A and B are shown apart, each in its own frame.
Chain A
């Protein structure tokens, strides 16, 4: 309403444009309100949930893993307290943090981690009131040092957590296995059970029984603010300790076996032929399971994963060898059962046999020859020529049928992971895999346990068990009993018979007699122990890559076998001179444990009390 008359036209134009602008203003405010409506009314539920998740954090508490005991109740694996060093930037300045890191380094005494620490801390700065773990497992001494210095090092905190502990270190490491942080593949398979960062069993019993051992994870639901400060606990669930496993392993026998084998790389398996219990299982070289409870350094990693010793390989079930003459036990049994040989049949061993059109020469291990041999002598002296003749008489099919009956060429089904199944050759197999037909020469090799035949030490031991117990093929097993966290027995694993194999009494009697003869007078003399009736068979597995592997499998007492002991020394040479003496050491030590009978509840209870259960 500008008060100069001449301005009238301009004023009208001005007013129109103001009105136009006012429409724009109304429109803009309408849009703002619409957006507000969209956020607060339409999407209300979504944002409500998000805001709730925003301020509730879940802190998981991993449950202590269940203990692992031997058959008498001695502890093989348990937990112990470990101390972790935590650090939080709080509201410290960068220079203060630097000072703290220096002091921490002084106590730890190693400078190389400094970069690592600073990186971890700077990562943490976004949530300055939460703690990150600088170092795990710092040890009791260091822990006390830190506890003393705590007022002078702002930002640090010490946390106690439980860490897996194997008090006997390398003892039965392939049976127990080790643990480690879950990897992405495992996570994918066990998505409903595990979370990122969980610790799970990687090999051995720790892996197979991980679900039982791990217990039930607990946790806290806490309300946090944007800096990650804990404000209050909304809900708390205490973790439940995992179940306790009792193994069939007898730690006295295991110790004996480990000591007897010494530093040699090889295998000792001791089974109870009456039920398939694994009394001890040694595979060397072995490892200290404790090393794996904290992340490995490069040197350790290289040692375990790329050295040619393959310390993590459980040779008892994951390595396959030719059984050599040990296999002759099964060949003899097959020949007797199939009536292809008479006890009095003799063969003259001149040190070799020629076979086929090309007159190929197949030698006996004794170049000079054994002379005339009957069956019992042939077994005791492990005369190859006798077995060549017998194998030709029987044919490949009979031998491989019997080998399969006794569990060769298939997994034994032991409760350990990644078992190999070995190989029992047949003409069809050879045609398919090698593309050649089966020759008599193959049969000859097969009948003395060489050639294509491959077995794991456990398979061979189990087969011998089935022979000496009169034809009952059991599934070997390691976990005997499962206890819950209050030590109530919740599961007992019963022996499982895979199949019965018909063996006539006369055959069984002859086999036992001949094997006893082997130890007393034959190739197995190295295993002879006075006052103990032992039957056994040596074997020397030809190894194209180096020195032969030495086998020896024996059982005792002959009349009513309680133990079957298998010794394999890799690259050891001949079975009689290398493997048999190892077995002797074990058998000598085992004398007091024979006839102990089934362990009674009192022994078990006493053992558990001793260990603070």
Chain B
């Protein structure tokens, strides 16, 4: 593959969008830590990460990505090992034990684990594509997802762990898995997570709880054996009635569907009890729910949401000007150089700036999906879809979070927020996309 040839096939739009996002990111990290004088070295540290990222990105472009198709599982195992190690050797920052600390820099293995995870899924899905419609084929990808997920949850980093699930679901979906399976799974997860959140939300809104016998009963059911069993029996009974009616009205539903649906719902209910009682801690649930009602956690997450919305809203169309945002410069905005970096931009450059960034992310995801359609092999296609998904879900959760329509999960805005590990792994991912694009006609 000659250089000239490559230069013609290179995806300049994706590359320059990425670099523009990174440049804007550094600009606003500078603003976020400025506070009237240049004191913090954070923005220059980010610059070093960009340098390192460029090198690795170059490598990710040059090496034929199909190598990862062959050795991807090794990367996956290596990443799992690093995730286990960090639980023993890692340093705890902001309550999560997720950092390897070296003399003057630190690495967050969960950020890097995303790429091997996509490798493994892509390998499996492309090799077993013919059997994808059977339920058995879906078990392995779910296991491949669950293992790193549980390890990351252990740190605990709820946000990052949860991000793996939709990526897996979307990859299975585009791979051709039956929608009914994915929907069922989605239903299961929704029940598992939905009930604990419902209960937490209700515990802050006793007025609703008092007026509703059913909700009160659900609240009891999660912590009491007897009520729990009664609740499950009632659900099964309701489902049975529904199916009976459907069959009576000559819908073509068979008894197996009834069994499967019941198992799903009952299983979801049971696992929700585990989530409620063992996995999520009170403050985590509060944090995740605060976006619905900042009053739930007025001094913690609620405060963050309120201040972030004020920052964004007061920016107006053209913003208050670079380094002129009062919310940012006077320190009202929390986590301003990491999770809430977009609020800084929205305050200082206004609607114009925020839409620009959102649009750049759209370009990345759109190009990613386009590249997956043009890839020369299935592995490449899955890889590109996976990477696009990671960017998509991180962007949605972060942007949604700062605007107060998504829970506070503590996820950074990829390529934009401060954080070397996330930046480098993001740049490697973009490198891989460029790589797949570059080799689309190579046989």
Contacts and interface: CB of A to CB of B under 8 A. Distances in A.
Contact of A15 (B331, B332, B358, B373): B373
A43 interface: yes
B355 A36 contact: yes
A50 interface: yes
Interface stretch (A218-226, A242-250, A390-398, A567-575): A218-226
A40 B312 contact: yes
A1 B372 CA distance: 9
Nearest to A26: B362
Interface stretch (B210-218, B254-262, B377-385, B423-431): B377-385
A47 B331 contact: no
A13 B176 CA distance: 7
A191 interface: no
B314 interface: yes
Contacts of B299: 126
Given A21-B173, A39-B312, A28 B327 contact: no
B332 A55 contact: yes
B440 interface: yes
A39 B309 CA distance: 7
Interface stretch (A2-10, A165-173, A207-215, A298-306): A2-10
B396 interface: yes
B392 interface: yes
B375 interface: yes
Contact of B354 (A14, A36, A126): A36
A44 B350 CA distance: 10
Give the secondary structure class of A's interface. Answer: helix
B362 A29 contact: yes
Given A14-B174, A44-B316, A47-B314, A36 B377 contact: no
Interface residues of A, number: 41
Given A28-B396, A36-B351, A39-B309, A7 B378 contact: yes
B400 interface: yes
Contact of B372 (A18, A25, A51): A18
Interface residues of B, number: 54
Interface in B368-396: 369, 372-378, 381, 385, 392, 396
Contacts of B412: none
B366 interface: yes
A1 B376 contact: yes
Contacts of B129: 7, 10
B313 A39 contact: yes
A23 to B, nearest CB: 11
Contacts of B400: 32, 35
B226 interface: no
Interface string B316-341: 11000000001101111100000000
Given A28-B396, A32-B400, A51 B312 contact: no
B53 interface: no
Nearest to B379: A2
Contacts of B307: 54
A224 B327 CA distance: 11
A613 interface: no
A226 B327 CA distance: 8
A40 B316 contact: yes
Interface string A107-140: 0000000000000000000100000000000000
Given A21-B385, A32-B358, 16 more contacts: A1-B440, A2-B376, A2-B381, A3-B443, A21-B174, A26-B362, A29-B358, A35-B405, A36-B351, A39-B313, A40-B315, A51-B314, A51-B326, A54-B332, A225-B35, A226-B332
By Cβ-Cβ distance, the 7 closest A-B pairs, closest first, are A47-B313, A226-B331, A51-B314, A225-B330, A40-B351, A47-B314, A39-B313
Interface of A: 1-3, 7, 10, 13-15, 17-18, 21-22, 25-26, 28-29, 32-33, 35-37, 39-41, 43-44, 46-48, 50-52, 54-55, 126, 223-227, 231
